[in-house]
Structure 1
Amino acid sequence: MTTRPFTLVSFHAHPDDEALLTGGTLARAAAAGHRVVLVTATGGEAGLADATPEPAELGRRRRAELAASARALGVARLVQLGYADSGHEPGPATFASVSPDEPAARLAHVLREEGAQVLTSYDRAGGYGHPDHVQVHRVGALAAAAAGTPVLLEATVDRQSIARAVAALRLLSRVTPMPELPDLTCAFTSRSDITHRVDVRAHLPAKLAALRAHASQAGGTDGLRTIALLLRLPPPLRARVLGAEWFRDALGTASCGGVDDVFGPTHRRRTAVRWM
């Protein structure tokens, strides 16, 4: 049996999601010599921005930022599906409103083209419930099944860890401006359901570069936003907040909650037949 690089396809809703949820994992995979493919459903034109440009202009800016982020993370191929950003109130022609079968077929085509061993999508809740994130969960599951992709990992956040982080940020808000911090007690995934905790501390420079690439998301009509907040954290706290990324094995085959590698031993056994 020979050893060959794996291919990881990472599916996201909007530009900047790839950096926030999986940036360290993608950079770590690329640095190890694996092929990393990034697929994004929308251009993010319905999002907030520092200067509140027209949607078409914001979409152009965010697609350019996405390309810069992909370069920082070592992405080998970037695929933009071009669906309309749903915002928080999906219209009839937006990504969240289309039948998931159509984008799933397009994503499955990429998976087959690439011979992907791993696909990342989002958890069932869509993280914090954004309609496009929930649709990514649906589409990812359909696409992995259609393409026969052996590993489907749902990018998420450890709910207990984020609760501690929010508590720390509330304390920090006494000395620095903070956005309104939402109630995330039912968001993302409980620690007991998480199968992978990936240590990305060695790849924080790449993840931070990817976050900085999304300059339009450093402000907006709601004031200081998540990316700007993360980049302003003191380095020790920033390393704690950004130094791990979490996934749930959607196919239920990972045996524990401490897997530190999306191409870990369990997954190597499941895909080894491809290289014999």
Structure 2
Amino acid sequence: MSPVTPIEARSALVVTAHPDDVDFGAAATVAGWTDAGVEVSYCVVTSGEAGGEVGRDAAALAARREAEQRAAAEVVGVRDVRFLRYPDGAVEPSLALRRDITRVIRTVRPERVMTWSPEINWAFVATTHPDHRAVGTATFAAVYPDARNPHVFPELLADEGLEPWTVRELWLVDGPVERRNHAVDVTATFDRKLAALRSHVSQVGDGDGLDVGIRTYLSGIATRHGLANGLLAEDFQVVDTS
């Protein structure tokens, strides 16, 4: 796709399926946003309780993973972290989920929303979790048309006083490579991405080897988008939704 120039956003909402999704996919970009004065909020649809060993306490793991995500968010300058607590591994793009994400959009009123692509990344299917795609589908519907239409989920306006809101721009993470039309130079914020990832101790352990693996991946993205040798990048499909 042809490169795009994103809007000058002052507020953003990141909607993910699980704790740690944003840190693997976009934490360095988020750190750059907050450094530039963008007010960023996170909405995490599940609490990540479906992982871990057989026989683990799901509620305890959920609480631990929520705490890890809040700690990771602090590293990149995000202090507003909301959990919807849908069941991990069983997320569907239901009307209920669309309503709940619409509620967050109308509350936060972001100019930009980031979420996961509803499409399959055939180049790296290991990251194409069904929950990711379900959240992407529901979030896109919440961005357009739900959040801006007063006649969709009218109870949000009538009972909660949440006025319609139009999101101007949607950033999709981990979609098909050929659809990614914007790369962000994250060389300066790479260390904070690593620190955010290391906050998820239940998932990455001591983080041994994380630096090399993530650096190699981001270097490849930078090369693919024609950035100078030695730079690191995260890339996205950016869509005008205004």
Quickly name the TM-score band, shorter chain normalised.
0.7 to 0.9
Query: CA offsets per residue over residues 126-148 of structure 1, 9 Å max, x none?
Result: 55331101111111111101222
1:48 aligns with 2:52: yes
Matches within 5 A, 1:71-90: 71-86=74-89
Matches within 5 A, 1:105-144: 105-125=99-119, 127=121, 128=125, 129-144=128-143
1:107, distance to aligned residue in structure 2 (A) = 1.2
Q: Distance in 1 between matches of 2:23 and 2:97?
A: 22
SS at match of 1:246: strand
Q: Distance in 2 between matches of 1:72 and 1:198?
A: 19
Contact 2:197 2:204 in 1 (8 A): no
Higher mean C-alpha deviation, range 69-78 or range 37-46: 69-78
Cα distance change of structure 1 residues 131 and 33 upon mapping to structure 2, 3 Å threshold: same
1:29 aligns with 2:33: yes
Q: Which of 247, 252, 260 matches 2:236? A: 247
Provide the aligned length of Structure 1 versus Structure 2: 201
Cα distance change of structure 1 residues 58 and 201 upon mapping to structure 2, 3 Å threshold: same
Contact 1:24 1:203 in 2 (8 A): yes
Q: Which residue of 2 aligns with 1:266?
A: none
Unaligned runs of 5+ in 1: 87-93, 157-187, 254-269, 271-276
TM-score by length of 2: 0.74
1:77, distance to aligned residue in structure 2 (A) = 0.8
AA aligned opposite 2:105: L
Cα distance change of structure 1 residues 136 and 239 upon mapping to structure 2, 3 Å threshold: closer
1:53, distance to aligned residue in structure 2 (A) = 2.9
TM-score by length of 1: 0.66
CA RMSD of aligned residues (A): 2.6
Q: Distance in 2 between matches of 1:199 and 1:83?
A: 33
SS at match of 2:176: coil
Higher helix proportion (structure 1 or 2): 1
Q: Which of 16, 19, 24 matches 1:15? A: 19
Query: CA offsets per residue over residues 209-264 of structure 1, 9 Å max, x none?
Result: 10000001125xxxx9xx65423x2896476268311111244x8xxxxxxxxxxx
Matches within 5 A, 1:177-188: 188=175
Q: Distance in 1 between matches of 2:137 and 2:16?
A: 12
Unaligned runs of 5+ in 2: 1-7, 148-165, 222-231
Contact 1:126 1:133 in 2 (8 A): no
Structure 1's consecutive aligned runs of 4 or more residues displaced over 2 angstroms after TM superposition are 51-54, 124-129, 227-231, 234-243
